[in-house]
Structure 1
Amino acid sequence: MNAIPLDDDSLTWGVPSRRIAAFLIDWALIVVVTMAVSLVFGVIHVMTLGLLHGPAHLILIIGLIYEAGWIASPAMATPGDAAMGLSVRRSDDLGRPTLVQAIAFTGLLYLTLAAGVIWLAIAFFTHRRRAIHDMIAGLVVVRAGALEWRRW
């Protein structure tokens, strides 16, 4: 599928620092989306005198839907990842991630963040600069520019 070998270090060089910046961009976008949805649910709550308050708890999974939806999309990257020139791929053949892999990747990311951010530092020391949630989900974050055909 690709002219670049899977073990080529150029695919993941500089990825950890770019992932941090991409996470901050995505975090800001998730906050904006969550605030907008919260306002909508607030208006619905007031208009129905609290009868439709139950669906308001769905705002807790907005981050999961946002991340997993973008990763499983044809873009294979969240807007933050795309801005930083990153792409999320399957680790075995660099193909498009499945929805199940994207959900596992995102859910495990949030569990890792809840357990302590220090666990993300493993990405600086592993092969292909993969974090724990990357390895469990079977995904790898690569530089999108390194996947393009090189012209000599």
Structure 2
Amino acid sequence: MTRFLSTPPLDPRLTDGVLPRRFLALLVDCLVLSMLGSVAALLIAVFGVLTLGIGWLAFHVIPLIPLVYYTLLIGSSGATPGQRLAGLTVRQDDDWTARPNLAQALVWAVLLWLSFVLVGIPFLLALLNPRGRATHDILSGLVIIRAT
């Protein structure tokens, strides 16, 4: 089955030097996430005191912050602030001109954090892949390229 409007093949120059940029982007995003988590924890602590301890149940929301952060930012704008700072953008693999949808961004975010739980072993695929794609990129159908 051929596509009516096919996209041109991905230019290899768009994926050159992506791995160091991805690492920088991850560091920036982790810094932003730690600030968001700290502010959320402070607000929940104050809310818990004001509600005589009942509000402290909201601390269970804090682990969802990275999931929401990555899903909304990648699904809407195609890049997180760290990725924008590093000059990267996230695109669909089969149509690299299209931004990811929210479902792909959610799968990408869940698999990203699952990769951390698995002690980073799924990240090793990025070292072997010529396009620098990690396991969570391949399984979600996304590719990270240089922003043009």
TM-score, normalization by structure 1: 0.89
1:15 and 1:2, CA in 2 relative to 1: closer, same or farther beyond 3 A? farther
> How many residue pairs align between the two structures?
143
CA distance in 2, matches of 1:103, 1:18: 22
* Match of residue 85, structure 1, among 82, 87, 99: 87
1:7 and 1:127, CA in 2 relative to 1: closer, same or farther beyond 3 A? farther
* Match of residue 101, structure 1, among 101, 104, 110: 104
What SS does the corresponding residue of 1:77 show, helix, strand or coil? coil
* Counterpart code for 1:40: L
1:115 aligns with 2:118: yes
Which string of whole-angstrom CA distances, capped at 9 and with x for unpartnered residues, describes residues 2-22 of structure 1? 98x433211111001100000
- Higher alpha-carbon deviation: 23-32 or 60-69: 60-69
What SS does the corresponding residue of 1:101 show, helix, strand or coil? helix
1:32 aligns with 2:35: yes
% identical aligned pairs: 38
* Counterpart code for 1:125: L
- The Cα shift of 1:125 comes to 1.5
Which string of whole-angstrom CA distances, capped at 9 and with x for unpartnered residues, describes residues 117-143 of structure 1? 232121121142210000000000000
Counterpart residue number, 1:142: 145
What SS does the corresponding residue of 2:144 show, helix, strand or coil? strand
Counterpart residue number, 2:50: 47
**Shift >4 Å, 4+ stretches:** none
* Counterpart code for 1:82: R
Counterpart residue number, 2:12: 9
- Higher alpha-carbon deviation: 115-124 or 61-70: 115-124
Unpaired runs of 5+ residues, structure 2, are none
TM-score, normalization by structure 2: 0.91
Unpaired runs of 5+ residues, structure 1, are 146-152
CA distance in 2, matches of 1:6, 1:40: 48
